[in-house]
A and B are shown apart, each in its own frame.
Chain A
C-alpha cells in the first residue's frame, strides 16, 4: 500500500494520508462510475481485478525472485479447471466454494512445484522457454483430454460452473435490498474481488520484507552470493514458483466461477504474455507496478475498442484494426518500448535503492 501511495503523482509525497484515502475512495467508487458507461464496463473492471491478482502472483516469480516464467497462465488454467471439475454439472460434483477455492489453490501450487523441480538449475532465457513449453503442454492437454475418456471436454470447455457462493450468499444474483433497489451481481463480484486483491497486496507486501522476500531479492541479484551466505536457493525457487502459482490458481478459480465457463482458449500463450507485459510495464519487483500495470493494460484495450473502432469507421469507412489486433499491438509495443526506453517500468522498484541510501547514511556517520 505504501508503494502504491507514493506512486500517486504529486500528492503521494506531500500528503501520503490523503493519497491513501484517495486510492481507497477511487477503488470503492470505480464501479459506480463505470456503471454510467454501461454494465460491460463493470465487468471489465472485475476482470481488471483478476488481472491484478495474476500480475501480483507473476511479480512474485519474475520481479522478486528473478525467474522469468512464460507459462504462468497454466496455473490460472489449473485453478479454473480445478474449480470447474469440483463445482459444475460436468462431473456432477458441486462442492462448496470454501472447499473448492483452497483445493484449486493447492492444485495450482502443486503444479508450480512440478514445474519448479525440473527447472531448478536453469536460469534466464532457458527457464523462460521451458516454462513456455510447460504452459503449452498444459493447454494441449486441456484441448485434447476429451478422448478416450472425457476429462476436460476438449475445445468446448466446461459450462455452467457454480457461481461464487459465500455462506449461502450467491454472488451471481442481484442483491435485493428493498422492493425497487437492488445491487447488481457485477458489483458484488467487484467488491469481493477487490477484497481478494487487497488481501493479496497485504500478503505480498509482508512477504517482500520478510526473510523469504529478502532471500529472493538476494537470489535474484546474485545467485552465487546468495548461496554463499547460506540461502537455500532450491527451496526458495520452489517456494517462489508454488506461491506464484497459488495466486494464479486462486485467480483462475475466481475467473471460472465468475465467468461460468472455462475453455482452453482463455489460457493461450498470449495471456501469459499479457500478464508478463503488465508486470514489465508497471515495473518488475514492485507491487504498485504490478497493480498499475494490470489496471492500465486491462483497461486500455477496452477503451481503445470503444474509441478506435468508431474512429476508424468515420475516418476510413471500415475497421482496419479490429480490437483483438489493437490489443496485441498495444501489448507488444508496450513490451518493446518499455524495455528500450524505461526498462525499470512505469513505477520503478525503489526498495533496494532506499536500502542502499540508508546504508550509505549509516556508513557516513
Chain B
C-alpha cells in the first residue's frame, strides 16, 4: 500500500512537469500544426541558464536567501527562453509556413540538435549538480510514504501555472486571438487579428513554461546537462498526443496520466515481466503509449483533431 501511494506521488510530480512542457507543444501544434521538436531543448536551456545564474549569485552574494536566489534565477531563465522561442519562430519556422510538410519538421529536428550542440559548447558535456535550493529532506506524511518539499512546490506551482494559462487563453483578449488563429489563420487575420504576433506570442509563452519546467525538472533530479531536455521533451509530446494534441486540458491530463503510468510501470515492470525486464526500461513506456494512442485513438483522450492531417 505504501509503495502504491509512493508511486502515485512520484507519478504526480513528474506528471505535472510533463504537463507543463506538453502545454508548449500543444499550443504551438494547435496554432501551426507544427511539432516543435526543439521545445524540449528550450527546457534544457532554461535549466542551465538558471543554474548559471545561481552559481553566479552564490559567488556574489553567498548569504542570499534560497527563495530570492531561485526567483532571480527564474527571472533570468524565463526571458532567455522567451527570446529563444521568439528567435526560433522568427528566423526559422515563420519562413517555412508554406513549405512542403516535411520541411518544418526537419528544421525543428535540426534546431533541437543545434541547441544541444551550442549548450554543449557553453556548458560542456558534464553533468552539473543543480543546487537544491528548496529542501530535499523527505517529509513523511504517512508512514512509509515520502515526499520532499521540492515535490510539493512542483505540484502546487504547476497547478497554479496551468490555471493561469487556462485563464489567459479563455478569458483574455490575446487568448481569444490565439483561439481564433488556431481555428483559421486567414479568417482570423481578416477579423483584424495580427496572426504573426499571435504565433510569436504562442512560442514565447510556450518557451516560458518550458523554462519553468526545466528548473523544476532539474531541481527534482538535482542534475542538469546539455542533453537533459530530449527525453522529457519526447515524453511531453507523448503526453500532448495522449491528451489530444491542440487541446490544453488534454495536455495537462495527458501529462499527469503519463507520469503515473511511467511511475507505476517502473515500479511494477519487474513483477509483470517475471523479472525479465527491470526499471531501466522505464523510458520505453512513453513510446509504447504513444504508439498505442496513435494507432487506436489518434485523437487522444480529449482531442477532436485527427492525426491524419497532411
B171 near A: Cβ within 8 Å?
no
Contact with A along B109-150 (1 / 0, CB 8 A): 111111011001100000000000000000000000000000
Does B102 lie within 8 Å of A124, measured CB to CB?
Answer: yes
Decide yes or no whether A33 CB sits under 8 A from chain B.
Answer: no
Main secondary structure of the interface of A (DSSP, over half): helix
For B102, list chain A residues within 8 Å (CB): 62, 66, 68, 124, 284
**A285→B278 CA distance, assembly (Å):** 42
Residues of A contacting B309 in the complex (Cβ-Cβ under 8 angstroms): 123-124
Residues of B within 8 A of A70 (CB): 109
Partner of A340, one of B96, B120, B275, B284: B96
**C-beta contact mask, A241-260 vs B, less than 8 Å → 1, else 0?**
00000000000000000000
Contact present for A122 and B294 (CB under 8 Å): yes
Residues of chain A lying within 8 A (CB to CB) of residue B111: 332, 336
Establish whether residues A123 and B96, one from each chain, have CB atoms under 8 Å apart when the complex forms: no
> Is A205 part of the contact surface with B, judged by Cβ < 8 Å?
no
A321/B121 contact (C-beta < 8 A), A68-B102, A70-B109, A126-B294 known: yes
In the complex the two chains form, what is the Cα distance from A144 to B269 in whole Å?
14
Contacts of A136 in B (CB 8 A): 234, 283-284, 287
Tell me the B79-109 residues at the A interface (CB within 8 Å).
92, 95-96, 99-107, 109
Q: What chain A residues lie within 8 Å of B92 (beta carbons)?
A: 336, 340
Q: Which of A140, A329, A334 has a CB less than 8 Å from the CB of B283?
A: A140
A125 at the interface (CB under 8 A from B): yes
**Is A335 a contact partner of B109 (Cβ separation < 8 A)?**
yes
Alpha-carbon distance between A70 and B281 when the two chains are bound, in angstroms: 20
- A147-B278, A340-B92 are known contacts. Are A335 and B234 too (CB-CB below 8 A)? no
- Residue pair A332, B294 in contact (C-beta under 8 Å): no
Known: A125-B105, A129-B35, A339-B107. A333 touches B295 (CB 8 A): no
List residues 314-353 of chain A with CB under 8 A from any CB of chain B: 320-321, 325, 328-329, 331-336, 339-340, 343
Is B196's CB within 8 Å of the partner chain A? no
- On whether the beta carbons of B114 and A336 are closer than 8 Å, the reply is yes
A128 within 8 Å of B (CB atoms): yes
Q: How far is the CB of A218 from chain B (nearest CB, A)?
A: 15
Pick the contact of A320: B114, B121, B281 (CB < 8 A). B121
Contact: A118 with B291, CB < 8 Å?
A: yes
Residues on the A chain within 8 Å of B35, using CB:
125, 128-129
A 120-161 contacts with B by CB, 8 A: 121-126, 128-130, 132-134, 136-137, 140, 143-144, 147-148
Contact, CB under 8 Å: A124 / B101? yes
A129 touches B120 (CB 8 A): no
For the complex, what is the distance from the CA of A203 to the CA of B281, rounded to whole Å? 39
Is A276 part of the contact surface with B, judged by Cβ < 8 Å?
yes
- Residues in A whose Cβ lies below 8 Å from that of B42: none
Contacts of B121 in A (CB 8 A): 320-321, 325, 329
Shortest distance from the beta carbon of A279 to any chain B beta carbon, whole Å: 10
B116 and A340 form a contact (CB under 8 A) = no
Instruction: State A339–B103 Cα separation when bound (angstroms).
Output: 6
Tell me whether B307 and A335 are in contact (CB under 8 A): no
Q: Are A140 and B234 in contact (CB under 8 A)?
A: no
Closest to B237 in A: A129
- With both beta carbons as reference points, the residue of chain A lying nearest to B289 in the complex is identified as A133
- In the bound complex, CA of A66 to CA of B100 (Å): 11
Could you say which residues of chain A place their CB within 8 Å of the CB of B298?
121-122, 126
Residues of B within 8 A of A82 (CB): none
User: A123 touching B110 by the CB < 8 A rule?
Assistant: no
Query: CA separation between A202 and B90, bound complex, in Å?
Result: 43
Q: For A320, list chain B residues within 8 Å (CB).
A: 121
A273, CB-defined interface residue at 8 Å: yes
Contact B103 A133 (CB under 8 A): no
User: Known: A129-B35, A132-B234. Is A336-B290 also a contact (CB below 8 A)?
Assistant: no
Residues of B within 8 A of A126 (CB): 241, 294, 298, 307
Contacting residues of chain A (286-337) with chain B, CB-CB under 8 angstroms: 320-321, 325, 328-329, 331-336
Out of B95, B114, B290, B308, name the residue touching A133 (CB < 8 Å): B290
Residues of B within 8 A of A68 (CB): 102, 105-106
Q: B283 — which chain A residues lie within 8 A by C-beta?
A: 136, 140
Using Cβ atoms and an 8 Å threshold, which residues of chain B touch A125?
34-35, 101, 105
Residues of B within 8 A of A134 (CB): 287
Within 8 A of A (CB), among B271-310: 275-278, 280-281, 283-284, 286-288, 290-291, 294-295, 298, 307-310
Question: Are B113 and A129 in contact, CB atoms less than 8 angstroms apart?
Answer: no
- Nearest chain B CB to A343 CB, angstrom units: 5
The answer to whether B275 and A332 have CB atoms under 8 Å apart is: no
The distance in angstroms between the C-alpha atoms of A68 and B307, with both chains bound, is 15
A280 within 8 A of B: yes
Residues from chain B with Cβ under 8 Å of A119 in the complex: 291, 294-295
Q: Which residues of A contact B105 (CB under 8 A)?
A: 68, 124-125, 128
Q: How many Å from the CB of B64 to the closest CB on chain A?
A: 32
**A44–B145 alpha-carbon span in the complex (Å):** 55
| A144 and B310 contacting across the interface, CB-CB below 8 Å | no
Complex-state Cα separation, A276 to B117, whole angstroms: 18
Known: A136-B283, A321-B121. A129 touches B307 (CB 8 A): no
The chain B residues found within 8 Å of chain A, CB to CB, are: 34-35, 92, 95-96, 99-107, 109-114, 116-117, 120-121, 234, 237, 241, 275-278, 280-281, 283-284, 286-288, 290-291, 294-295, 298, 307-310
Other contacts beyond A125-B35, A125-B101: 7, CB < 8 A: A123-B307, A124-B102, A128-B109, A130-B290, A144-B277, A280-B106, A325-B120
Q: Can you pick out 8 interface pairs between chain A and chain B where the beta carbons lie within 8 Å of each other?
A: A62-B102, A68-B105, A68-B106, A128-B109, A133-B287, A276-B109, A332-B112, A332-B117
4 residue pairs, one from A and one from B, having the closest CB atoms: A335-B110, A133-B287, A332-B113, A332-B114
Q: A residues touching B (Cβ–Cβ < 8 Å)?
A: 62, 66, 68, 70, 118-119, 121-126, 128-130, 132-134, 136-137, 140, 143-144, 147-148, 223, 270, 273, 276-277, 280, 284, 320-321, 325, 328-329, 331-336, 339-340, 343
